[in-house]
């Protein structure tokens, strides 16, 4: 691609060309059947934006408050492991890029750089992502380190207690598991279920215990049903992330499809964020219209880093900001708070394809 990237998809294409094939396949690895990843863009596109004219304002205000932190944009960087797969600076570059556009990053426990180094890399708010580990003392130790380093929230991933299947590329492959000799890498569970970091026997009582060991807000990631949303509320969570963990199961609904039922179940009692499939400014506005307070992006982090490290990711985030601003203004909404359900309409022709 000779021209600079003009959309998030362009960054993905550049990342595929620049990264070693096996690294890109790990980042893009898919679950068996791949139904969820196929339906996610259709689910977003089934929500058409309703444009308005003559709003009487010259500029859009994209700022939003997330758990008391004022951000310049309504999107954040989701926790994802080992940003060093895409660039040697990894999470250090991500922290700097996030700060440059006025948003926050959620640092994954399995980071390519120590938590302490990421905290020093740039200003701006940061969350620490963790699990309910089999070793509860390890969970406590991570939370205490995060508090000491000035992290502003703890994001606990609730759906990581069982490993998923992924189709990974065979050696020498650039085509989703098929090698040059025609052989294919079999689908396999990534990891031994008996040895997961996260405890399969964890319960909602562990979320309550996590609340008791920290004064930081607790964000529960991996909520996909109204039932679990209500349980998160009852356990004292401060926010939830509607997320299907990168479509890891392959046969779930898209996050954007379950967002309305979660919003309805929560009833404004805590903040709700959406993670999964956000690739355009229109996707951000669609999620906000359905009741999300903000969204997170995951895989695009790696594409921006692979393009040009910190500056590549900052470029991607700036592009996304411009797209959100354009959609807001053309829909006649100059502030995030003014975005509501009337901004979107169901597109029957696309809904029929779901």
pLDDT of residue 181: 42
Query: Which tens digit of pLDDT belongs to each residue from 117-139?
Result: 999 999 999 999 999 999 999 99
Fold of 8-336: TIM Barrel (3.20.20)
pLDDT of residue 166: 62
Catalytic hit among 83, 87, 245, 311: 245
Quote the tokens at residue 259.
């967002």
pLDDT of residue 1: 53
d(CA 76, CA 93): 15
Domain boundaries, the chain: 8-336
pTM, full prediction: 0.91
CA torsion 343-294-156-158 (nearest 10°) is: 10
pLDDT of residue 190: 54
The size of the chain, in residues, is: 354
pLDDT by position in tens, the chain (length 354): 567 899 999 999 999 999 998 888 877 766 666 788 888 999 999 999 999 999 888 999 999 999 999 999 999 999 999 999 999 999 999 999 999 999 999 999 999 999 999 999 999 999 999 999 999 999 999 999 999 999 999 999 998 877 776 655 444 433 333 333 444 444 444 566 677 778 889 999 999 999 999 999 999 999 999 999 999 999 999 999 999 987 777 788 999 999 999 999 999 999 999 999 999 999 999 999 999 999 999 999 999 999 999 999 999 999 999 999 999 999 999 999 999 999 999 988 776 776
d(CA 146, CA 151): 5
pLDDT of residue 165: 66
pLDDT of residue 38: 85
pLDDT of residue 29: 67
| Other C-beta atoms lying within 10 Å of the C-beta of residue 349 | 9
Counting other chains too, the contacts that 161-164 makes at CB distance below 8 Å and 24 or more residues apart are 161/131, 161/132, 161/196, 161/198, 161/199, 161/200, 161/202, 162/193, 162/196, 162/200, 163/189, 163/190, 163/191, 163/192, 163/193, 163/196, 164/31, 164/189, 164/190, 164/245, 164/248, 164/249
Average pLDDT over the chain reads 89
Is 245 one of the annotated active-site residues of the chain?
Answer: yes
């Amino acid at each position: 691609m000779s021209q600079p990237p003009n959309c998030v998809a362009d960054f993905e294409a550049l990342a595929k060309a620049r990264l070693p094939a096996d690294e890109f396949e790990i980042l893009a690895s898919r679950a068996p059947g791949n139904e969820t990843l196929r339906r996610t863009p259709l689910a977003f596109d089934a929500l058409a934006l309703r444009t308005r004219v003559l709003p009487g304002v010259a500029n859009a205000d994209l700022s939003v408050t997330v758990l008391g932190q004022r951000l310049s944009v309504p999107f954040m960087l989701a926790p994802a492991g080992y940003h060093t797969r895409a660039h040697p600076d990894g999470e250090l570059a991500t922290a700097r890029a996030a700060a440059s556009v006025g948003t926050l990053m959620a640092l994954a426990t399995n980071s390519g750089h120590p938590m302490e180094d990421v905290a020093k890399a740039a200003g701006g708010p940061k969350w620490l992502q963790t699990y309910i580990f089999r070793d509860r003392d390890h969970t406590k130790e991570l939370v205490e380190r995060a508090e000491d380093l000035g992290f502003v929230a703890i994001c606990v991933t609730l759906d990581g207690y069982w490993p998923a299947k992924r189709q990974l590329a065979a050696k020498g492959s650039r085509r989703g598991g098929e090698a040059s000799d025609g052989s294919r890498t079999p689908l396999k569970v990534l990891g031994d279920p008996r040895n997961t970091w996260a405890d399969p026997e964890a319960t909602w009582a562990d979320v309550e215990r996590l609340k008791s060991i920290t004064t930081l807000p607790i964000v529960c990631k991996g909520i996909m049903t109204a039932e679990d949303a209500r349980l998160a509320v009852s356990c004292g969570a401060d926010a939830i992330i509607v997320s299907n963990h990168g479509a890891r199961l392959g046969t779930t609904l898209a996050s954007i499809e379950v967002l309305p039922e979660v919003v309805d179940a929560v009833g404004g009692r805590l903040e709700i964020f959406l993670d999964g499939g956000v690739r355009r400014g229109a996707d951000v506005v669609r999620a906000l219209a359905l009741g999300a307070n903000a969204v997170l992006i995951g895989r695009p982090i790696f594409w921006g880093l692979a393009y040009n490290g910190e500056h590549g990711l900052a470029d991607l985030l700036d592009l996304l900001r411009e797209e959100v601003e354009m959609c807001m203004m053309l829909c006649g909404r100059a502030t995030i708070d003014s975005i509501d359900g009337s901004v979107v309409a169901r597109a029957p022709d696309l809904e029929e394809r779901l």
